[in-house]
Structure 1
Amino acid sequence: MKWRFRKPSVLPGFGLTLGFSLTYVILLVLIPLGGLLLYTTKLSWSEFGAVILDPRVLASFKLSFGASLIAAVINLFFGLIVAWTLARYNFFGKKIVDALVDLPFALPTAVAGIALAAIFAQSGWIGRLLDPFGIQIAYSKAGVVVALVFIGLPFVVRTVQPVIEEFEKEFEEASTSLGASWWQTFSRVILPSLMPALLTGFALSFARALGEYGSIIFISSNMPFVSEIVPLIIVTKLSQFDYVGATAVGTVMLLATFVILFLINAIQIYSREKSL
């Protein structure tokens, strides 16, 4: 009789860890999201359209998506600069700057909103300098963008920084030795390698901004049709016991996020294949 021994797995305990992972995903992700979609089915298509196409809801969608997009683009640009500085240069206070990048991760968003509102108010440190020029940041749409930039910047920096640190400088030196300018070296040698990480950081920053609530309600005036974001619309409907309407708005946000992440992932795959 021949005994057959099972070939040991490269990852010990794969079955157990896979079971825990699937349980975690099902209980904390799939079931809540499935419940959200299922609860929305209580509405007919006409009722669903009436909730989503309400002028106040549409105005909040426009502000949330528009401000999130602007903040993500700003974070994409400045996040690359910060990540490049931290990865390539040594300077006094580098560890302090590196720690400050992670501050939005640890700081409660409500505290961040209060601090930003105090700084950018007309009597604040920065607000009093902008007030003579007629520039108002706090309690306006601009304040929403500032708050979203604050909470989204670390996602770009922490995604791009490791890629820059692992990038081999020999490629830059070879490009320079062949007569390429600094811009040609960056755009044709460095940027293609950073593109997948940049797109990932952009997507994370954008998705994080869409769901932000705590910091915005303190720096924004929260006026309907002016500076009211979608999460505030959802909270308002819940406080009015309009659970079906709240889930309808939440479902649109969920589907929009899935579509955006799908497009970003498709662009990333295309960028990797093109670079190869």
Structure 2
Amino acid sequence: MSEVSSATPINFLQAKKVKKTWVKKSVLPGFGLSLGLAALYASLIVFIPLAGLVLKSLELSWPELWAVVSNPRAVASYQLTFGASLAAASINLVFGLIVAWVLVRYDFFGKRVVDALVDLPFALPTAVAGIALTALYTTKGWVGQWFWLADIKIAYTWLGVTVALTFIGLPFVVRTVQPVLADLEAEVEEAAASLGASRWQTFRRVLLPALLPSLLTGFALAFARAIGEYGSVVFISGNMPYKTEITPLLIMTKLEQFDYAGAAALGTVMLIFSFVLLLLINLLQHWSHKRTGG
């Protein structure tokens, strides 16, 4: 006992000395410098431009500002933009999980090709994607003609907008969930099955709690990407005011009319809505991390 107690202070002092020596020799900048550089970079890239957007919109008087953002045409564009983005992100939440599951859990011919194709929306110019989707989903397109037989029109409707937003948002969910699935050991599922759990119970009680944070992250990324999408949507939507006109297109219309304050006002509304929705998603992520002990 005496030997252990006498050696403990010496080991503590040695560890403290080693830690102090490591800190002195570290090539990384200190907290103050790191925080300053991070704040400067974030200010130049994010905060100052967003503040400029809000200040530009305040050049309008309050009645003028309200008239711009509450115009029936603008309200219709909000409904389409956020509604289609929410629908597309929800679709990707389900099918993105399925795609990630297949890529992680199964080996099949052409797996690497499929895995590479998932990233195609990242690399493909949005205008090219819009032209390709329009050609496919018109009433005479390879896919759209079969829906047209059932009297379902996709291109130049809100369905076409949702299809385009689903296309560009899929990689965000797949690439967010895929590494988490790869880290989950298949033995855990086998153990649950051996204990009598059904497939649904194994998914709901074993897999879903571990996947929920990454699923919410992928959903948030896909949703945020869809809200700001422009290039792929303008071709397949038809851009009809009050029907298929998205808010980014309405902003571009005002810019072409040199109505910069009006465009900034619409952009500010988009910014506020996006911030609130992403804040809610982050709160859900925090709740899921806390619930699962992550």
Residue 192 of structure 2 corresponds to which residue in structure 1?
175
Mapped partners of 1:14, 1:170: distance in 2: 43
Normalization by structure 2: what TM-score?
0.89
Is 1:205 the counterpart of 2:222 in the alignment? yes
Deviating 4+ runs (over 4 angstroms): 14-20
Residue 23 of structure 2 corresponds to which residue in structure 1?
7
Residue 102 of structure 1 corresponds to which residue in structure 2?
119
Mapped partners of 1:88, 1:9: distance in 2: 45
Is 1:148 the counterpart of 2:138 in the alignment? no
Is 1:275 the counterpart of 2:287 in the alignment? no
Mapped partners of 2:25, 2:291: distance in 1: 34
Mapped partners of 2:274, 2:24: distance in 1: 40
SS at match of 1:135: coil
Residue 187 of structure 1 corresponds to which residue in structure 2?
204
Mapped partners of 1:164, 1:187: distance in 2: 14
Is 1:251 the counterpart of 2:268 in the alignment? yes
Which amino acid letter does the alignment assign opposite residue 126 of structure 2?
T
Mapped partners of 1:10, 1:119: distance in 2: 57
Question: Which structure is larger by alpha-carbon Rg, 1 or 2?
Answer: 2
> CA offset at residue 46 of structure 1?
2.0
- The one-character-per-residue Cα deviations of 1:1-49 (angstroms, maximum 9, x if unpaired) are xxx9893376624566655443332211111111011112222322221
In structure 2, which of residues 242, 255, 258 is the aligned counterpart of residue 225 of structure 1? 242
Which amino acid letter does the alignment assign opposite residue 12 of structure 1?
L
Distance change >3 Å, CA 243–CA 162, structure 1 → 2: same
Identical positions, percent: 60
Is 1:132 the counterpart of 2:149 in the alignment? yes
After superposition, the CA RMSD in angstroms is 1.7
Per mean C-alpha deviation after superposition, the further-off stretch among 216-225 and 9-18 is: 9-18
Distance change >3 Å, CA 139–CA 11, structure 1 → 2: farther
Normalization by structure 1: what TM-score?
0.94
Residue 157 of structure 1 corresponds to which residue in structure 2?
174
In structure 2, which of residues 47, 64, 76 is the aligned counterpart of residue 30 of structure 1? 47
Residue 43 of structure 1 corresponds to which residue in structure 2?
60
Which amino acid letter does the alignment assign opposite residue 8 of structure 1?
K
Is 1:264 the counterpart of 2:284 in the alignment? no
Q: Specify every segment of 5 or more residues in structure 1 that has no aligned partner in the other structure, as ranges.
A: none
Residue 65 of structure 1 corresponds to which residue in structure 2?
82
Is 1:123 the counterpart of 2:155 in the alignment? no
SS at match of 1:227: coil
Residue 241 of structure 1 corresponds to which residue in structure 2?
258
Q: How many residues align?
A: 273
Distance change >3 Å, CA 129–CA 5, structure 1 → 2: closer
- The one-character-per-residue Cα deviations of 1:72-109 (angstroms, maximum 9, x if unpaired) are 11000000000111111111100000000000000000
Residue 14 of structure 2 corresponds to which residue in structure 1?
none
> CA offset at residue 121 of structure 1?
1.2
